[in-house]
């Protein structure tokens, strides 16, 4: 017996759809509340792996430093460096640069202070 689309539509129109009872959703939600909440899965990283990676980096840095000192010629006489700084700037320029630097530091400090206060206020809520 072949079932055509038209015949299937006729059969479905004649059927009544079953609807769940009025308290079905409430009952399901009450059962869901009784279930244990799922525990978040956290993978643990073995500390030996972290220590071994750190040891590899320390060994590589140590080997590079040892190689650098082994191939360097330390018998050179370093030439005497004569550093002469001249602070012959005008007072107004020096004062303006100092004020601009302090102003920028003040603005940055205010941003950090605001962030600190917001973090502390949010932790008390």
**pLDDT level of residue 78 (50, 70, 90 thresholds):** low
Q: Using one digit for the tens of pLDDT, what is the confidence trace for 7-57? A: 888 888 878 777 777 788 888 888 888 887 777 767 777 888 889 999 999
CA–CA dist 104, 98 (Å, integer): 10
Q: How far apart are CA 97 and CA 90, in angstroms?
A: 11
Structural domain boundaries in the chain = 44-68
Q: For residue range 45-55, what is the model confidence (pLDDT) as tens digits?
A: 788 888 999 99
pTM score: 0.30
């Amino acid at each position: 017996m072949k079932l055509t689309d038209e015949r299937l539509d006729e059969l479905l129109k004649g059927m009544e759809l079953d609807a769940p009872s009025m308290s079905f959703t409430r009952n399901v939600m009450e059962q869901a509340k009784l279930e244990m909440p799922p525990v978040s899965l956290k993978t643990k990283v073995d500390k030996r792996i972290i220590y071994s990676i750190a040891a590899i980096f320390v060994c590589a840095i140590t080997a590079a430093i040892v190689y650098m000192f082994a191939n360097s010629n330390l018998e050179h006489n370093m030439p005497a460096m004569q550093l002469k700084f001249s602070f012959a700037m005008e007072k107004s320029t020096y004062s303006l640069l100092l004020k601009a630097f302090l102003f920028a530091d003040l603005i940055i400090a205010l941003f950090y202070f605001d962030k600190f206060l917001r973090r502390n206020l949010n932790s008390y809520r």
